[in-house]
C-alpha cells in the first residue's frame, strides 16, 4: 500500500494493478512446500483475508496451469512494472531539487568520503544502497553475493489464447520449486517470465551489459511452456538479466553506523520493490537519529556474516 500511495501521490504510472499472488504447485514436493508456506504464514498470525491455500480446480479457474495441484495464495498484493516505478521515483526526487549523478563507478566507501572513477565525493553521512553491485566495492567483496536473475517477455497474446489461459485477475504468478520462477501478465497483454540466470560468475563478478545467456533464455522458455503449454509457438520479444544482492542468511538488512556516518540497506534477493520503500523510510529515521517503530525493527543494524572466500 505504501508503494502504491507514493506512486499515486507523485503521479507515477507504473502499470500498478491490485491483485493476488499465486505460488502454484505442480508436483507432490511443491504441494507440500506450498502448504508449509501457508502454515508458516498462519503461524505468524496472518489471517485468511491475507493468505490462503486453494485447490487445483480453483487455481485452474484463475490460471490454466498444467498439472497444477493447488496454490498458496497471498492476497492484497500488486502487479508493478519496476522500471517505470524507478524512473518515476527518480523524477520525483529530482523535482525536490536532488541531483542524480549517473555513469559513475564507486571504487570505495570510507568515513566521510566516496571514492569514484571520476573523483572523490565528501559527505558527513553516506548511504550504501548498491545491492548486487556491492561486491565491486573495495572491502565489500564477500558481503553480499552477486546472483544473476533473468527475464523473458513474450509477444502479445491473442484474445483467443488469453481465453484459454484465463489470468483475468492479472495475478502475480510463481511456483513452489526450489529454483522458483515468477511471472506476470503485463499491461500490453504479454507474459513476463523470470527466474535464476546462468552462469554464476566466480568471485561475485557482475555483467553490466544485461545480456542474457541463451541457456537461460531456453530454460525460462521451457518453464513457461511447461506451466502454460498454450504458449508453445509464441515468440520471445525481449530478454535481459540483472544482479541480485544476496546476504549469507538470505535476509535483508538496514542500518547506520554513527561512528563512521555510513548507512546501508539491501540484500533484497530480488524482493526489493516494496522492501526498498520500507528500508528507505527506516534509513530516514536512522539518519535523523529519530527513535521510531521502524528503527526498532529486528532487521535494523543486524550483523550478517560474510560469504566464504572463493
pLDDT tens digit string along 247-288? Answer: 999 999 999 999 999 999 999 998 999 999 999 999 999 999
- pLDDT band for position 309 (cuts 50, 70, 90): confident
Q: Is 200 a residue whose pLDDT tops 90?
A: no
98 preceded by a cis bond (ω within 30 of 0) = no
- pLDDT band for position 198 (cuts 50, 70, 90): low
* Inter-residue contact 63 to 22 (CB < 8 Å): yes
| Average of per-residue pLDDT values in the chain | 95
By three-state DSSP, how is residue 218 classified? helix
Percent of the chain scoring above 70 in pLDDT = 97
- Let me know if residue 284 belongs to a domain: no
pLDDT at 217: 94
- pLDDT band for position 212 (cuts 50, 70, 90): confident
- Let me know if residue 104 belongs to a domain: no
Q: For residues 191-213, give the mean pLDDT.
A: 77
- Let me know if residue 37 belongs to a domain: yes
Q: For residues 299-308, give the mean pLDDT.
A: 94
CATH assignment at residue 163: 3.30.9.10
Q: Is 202 a residue whose pLDDT tops 80?
A: no
Q: For residues 47-55, give the mean pLDDT.
A: 97
pLDDT at 148: 87
- pLDDT band for position 179 (cuts 50, 70, 90): confident
Percent of the chain scoring above 90 in pLDDT = 87
- Let me know if residue 200 belongs to a domain: yes
Structure-model confidence comparison of residues 40 and 146, the more confident one? 40
Q: Is 90 a residue whose pLDDT tops 90?
A: yes
Domain tally, the chain: 1
Beta bridge partners of 35: none
Q: Is 101 a residue whose pLDDT tops 90?
A: yes
The rounded distance, in Å, linking the Cα atoms of 149 and 223 is 14
- Let me know if residue 117 belongs to a domain: no
The rounded distance, in Å, linking the Cα atoms of 134 and 246 is 10
Beta bridge partners of 23: 72, 174
Supply the range of the domain harboring residue 163. 17-79+146-246
Q: Is 208 a residue whose pLDDT tops 70?
A: no
Q: Is the Cα dihedral 137, 140, 141, 144 positive or negative?
A: negative
Q: For residues 5-20, give the mean pLDDT.
A: 97
Residues, the chain = 310
- Let me know if residue 63 belongs to a domain: yes
- Let me know if residue 107 belongs to a domain: no
The rounded distance, in Å, linking the Cα atoms of 260 and 251 is 23
- Let me know if residue 1 belongs to a domain: no
- pLDDT band for position 310 (cuts 50, 70, 90): confident
- pLDDT band for position 206 (cuts 50, 70, 90): confident
Amino acid at each position: 500500500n505504501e508503494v502504491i500511495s507514493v506512486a499515486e501521490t507523485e503521479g507515477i504510472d507504473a502499470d500498478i494493478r491490485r491483485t493476488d499472488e499465486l505460488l502454484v504447485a505442480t508436483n507432490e514436493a511443491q504441494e507440500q512446500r506450498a502448504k508449509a508456506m501457508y502454515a508458516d504464514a498462519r503461524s505468524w498470525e496472518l489471517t485468511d483475508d491475507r493468505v490462503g491455500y486453494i485447490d487445483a480446480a480453483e487455481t485452474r479457474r484463475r490460471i490454466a496451469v498444467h498439472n497444477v495441484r493447488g496454490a498458496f495464495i497471498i492476497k492484497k498484493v500488486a502487479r508493478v512494472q519496476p522500471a517505470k516505478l524507478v524512473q518515476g521515483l527518480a523524477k520525483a526526487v529530482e523535482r525536490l531539487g536532488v541531483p542524480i549523478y549517473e555513469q559513475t563507478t564507486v571504487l570505495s566507501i570510507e568515513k566521510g568520503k566516496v571514492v569514484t572513477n571520476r573523483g572523490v565525493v565528501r559527505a558527513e553521512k553516506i548511504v550504501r544502497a548498491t545491492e548486487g553491485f556491492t561486491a565491486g566495492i573495495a572491502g565489500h567483496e564477500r558481503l553480499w553475493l552477486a546472483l544473476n536473475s533473468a527475464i523473458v517477455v513474450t509477444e502479445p497474446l491473442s484474445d483467443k489464447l488469453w481465453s484459454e489461459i484465463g489470468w483475468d485477475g492479472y495475478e502475480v504468478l510463481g511456483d513452489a520449486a526450489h529454483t522458483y520462477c515468477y511471472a506476470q501478465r503485463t499491461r500490453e497483454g504479454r507474459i513476463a517470465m523470470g527466474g535464476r540466470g546462468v552462469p554464476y560468475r566466480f568471485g561475485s563478478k557482475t555483467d553490466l551489459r544485461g545480456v542474457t545467456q541463451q541457456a537461460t533464455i531456453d530454460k525460462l522458455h521451457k518453464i513457461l511452456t511447461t506451466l502454460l503449454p498454450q504458449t508453445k509457438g509464441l515468440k520471445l520479444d525481449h530478454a535481459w538479466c540483472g544482479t541480485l544482492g544476496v546476504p549469507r542468511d538470505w535476509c535483508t538488512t538496514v542500518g547506520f553506523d554513527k561512528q563512521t556516518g555510513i548507512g546501508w540497506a539491501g540484500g533484497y534477493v530480488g524482493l526489493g520493490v516494496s522492501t526498498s520503500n520500507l528500508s528507505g523510510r527506516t534509513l530516514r529515521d536512522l539518519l535523523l537519529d529519530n527513535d521510531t517503530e521502524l528503527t526498532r525493527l529486528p532487521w535494523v543494524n543486524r550483523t550478517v556474516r560474510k560469504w566464504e572466500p572463493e
